[in-house]
């Protein structure tokens, strides 16, 4: 059996998240496994670097699978992409040793959240960004974003349904940049809790709307209670953009997706 790593781009609007769920619920993982199994001519189980919520997108979700089918890399790519729905695409494939695991070998994961701050809602970016028509204090939001860097107990920022054993995470960077009407939050951590990024964005938006001061973020952390934090931001603007691995695996570290998502910090 040969192990393969793949980089996957998908628009999550039509899916109930990455992970395969109960019968009748369409997921990205199950959709990919169905097509990979056809190309391989045997059942294929796909393991992703992380899980995404319903409606969340990805530009480079790393996953792996095993197969004894004799296919060239081009054969895998062309065979799968010709049969996948138009909102899912395998961008690259790489043959790996058996010790690679897309989830357990990942050392960090990175998301970007895109806000479109303008009076009128966008049409061409429907379900691709989160539209906020309120005037926002960007400087205070940027100051508040820095509060999330470092090692913290994120109990107040995870969903009640979160299955993680413990809520402590280390965030290496959390920065908010403005590009015209676009606000892009870039956040990287050793791991993320259920709804963690969306709950952080919800709090930043409340700071931007002057519902509370920047220092109130400290009180939310201290409460260790989901009820202390703000509303959960919509899934539309959230993108899984990278998973990071030890250098010996030599995986492509690329940011794909629309050009506006690739703007530098």
Give a three-class secondary structure readout of the chain.
Answer: CEEEEEEEEECHHHCCCCCCCCCCCCCHHHHHHHHHHHHHCCCCCCEECCCCCCCCEEEEEEEEEEECCCCCHHHHHHHHHCCCCCCEEEEEEEEECCCCCCCCCCCEEEEEEEEEECCCCCCCCCCCCEEECCCCCHHHHHHHHHCCCEEEECHHHCCCCCCCCCCEEEEEEEEEEEECCEEEEEEEECCCCCCHHHHHHHHHHHHHCCCCCCCHHHHHHHHCCHHHCCCCCCCCCEEEEEEECCHHHCCCCCCCCCHHHHCCC
At residue 79, the pLDDT reads 96
Residue 53: active-site member? yes
6-57, pLDDT tens digit by residue?
A: 999 999 999 988 887 766 778 999 999 999 999 999 999 999 998 888 899 9
Average pLDDT (196-213) is 95
- Tell me: pLDDT of 199 over 90: yes
Cα–Cα distances in angstroms (integers) from residue 174 to residues 187, 191, 245, in the given order: 4, 13, 20
At residue 95, the pLDDT reads 96
91-149, pLDDT tens digit by residue?
A: 999 999 999 999 999 999 999 999 999 999 999 999 999 999 999 999 999 999 999 99
> CA dihedral defined by 184, 189, 194, 196, rounded to 10 degrees?
-50
At residue 22, the pLDDT reads 66
69-93, pLDDT tens digit by residue?
A: 999 999 999 999 999 999 999 999 9
Same domain, 121 and 83: no
Average pLDDT, the chain: 92
Same domain, 101 and 116: no
Backbone conformation region of residue 257, classed left if phi is above 0, alpha if psi is from -120 to 50, else beta:
left
At residue 181, the pLDDT reads 93
* Domain membership flag for residue 254: no
At residue 135, the pLDDT reads 94
**pTM for the full model?**
0.93
Same domain, 150 and 206: yes
Name the active-site residue from 45, 53, 68, 137: 53
CATH of the domain at 24: 3.30.70.580
More confident residue, 68 or 25: 68
**Per-residue confidence at 197, pLDDT binned at 50, 70, 90?**
very high
Average pLDDT (205-219) is 94
Same domain, 117 and 229: yes
At residue 159, the pLDDT reads 86
Hey, how many other C-beta atoms are within 10 angstroms of the C-beta on 162?
17
Rg (CA), the chain: 19
Backbone angles phi and psi of 2, in degrees to 5: -100, 135
At residue 263, the pLDDT reads 75
Same domain, 91 and 123: no
- Tell me: pLDDT of 260 over 80: no
Same domain, 40 and 6: yes
Count of structural domains within the chain: 2
- Positive or negative torsion for Cα 29, 242, 67, 86: positive
- Tell me: pLDDT of 253 over 90: no
CATH of the domain at 199: 3.30.70.660
Contacts of residue 34, defined as CB under 8 A and 6 or more positions apart, other chains included, come to: none
Same domain, 99 and 124: no
Using CA atoms, how far apart are residues 53 and 28, in angstroms rounded to an integer? Answer: 11
Contacts of residue 14, defined as CB under 8 A and 6 or more positions apart, other chains included, come to: 26, 85, 87
Same domain, 131 and 219: yes
Same domain, 136 and 200: yes
- Tell me: pLDDT of 265 over 70: no
Domain ranges, residue 60: 2-105
* Domain membership flag for residue 257: no
Same domain, 153 and 37: no
Using CA atoms, how far apart are residues 49 and 52, in angstroms rounded to an integer? Answer: 10
**Per-residue confidence at 256, pLDDT binned at 50, 70, 90?**
low
Same domain, 90 and 118: no
């Amino acid at each position: 059996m040969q192990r393969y790593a793949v980089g996957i781009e998908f628009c999550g609007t039509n899916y109930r998240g990455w992970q395969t769920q109960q019968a009748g619920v369409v997921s990205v993982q199950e959709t990919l496994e169905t097509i990979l199994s056809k190309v391989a001519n045997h059942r294929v189980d796909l393991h992703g670097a992380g899980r995404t919520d319903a409606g969340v997108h990805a530009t480079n979700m790393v996953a792996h699978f095993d197969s004894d089918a004799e296919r060239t890399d081009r054969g895998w790519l062309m065979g799968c992409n010709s049969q996948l729905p138009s909102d899912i695409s395998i961008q690259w494939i790489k043959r790996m040793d058996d010790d690679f695991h897309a989830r357990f070998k990942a050392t960090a994961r990175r998301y970007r959240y895109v806000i479109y701050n303008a009076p009128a809602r966008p049409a061409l970016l429907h379900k691709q960004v989160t539209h906020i028509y309120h005037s926002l204090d960007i400087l205070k939001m940027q100051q508040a974003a820095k509060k999330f860097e470092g090692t913290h107990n994120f109990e107040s920022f995870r969903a009640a349904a979160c299955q993680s054993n413990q809520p402590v995470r280390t965030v290496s960077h959390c920065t908010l940049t403005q590009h015209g009407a676009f606000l892009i939050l870039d956040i990287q951590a050793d791991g993320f809790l259920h709804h963690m990024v969306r709950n952080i964005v919800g709090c930043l938006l409340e700071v931007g709307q002057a519902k509370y001061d920047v220092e109130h973020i400290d009180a939310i952390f201290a409460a260790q209670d989901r009820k202390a934090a703000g509303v959960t931001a919509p899934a539309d603007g959230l993108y899984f953009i990278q998973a990071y691995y030890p250098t010996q695996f030599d995986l492509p570290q690329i940011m794909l997706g629309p050009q506006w998502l690739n703007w530098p910090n």
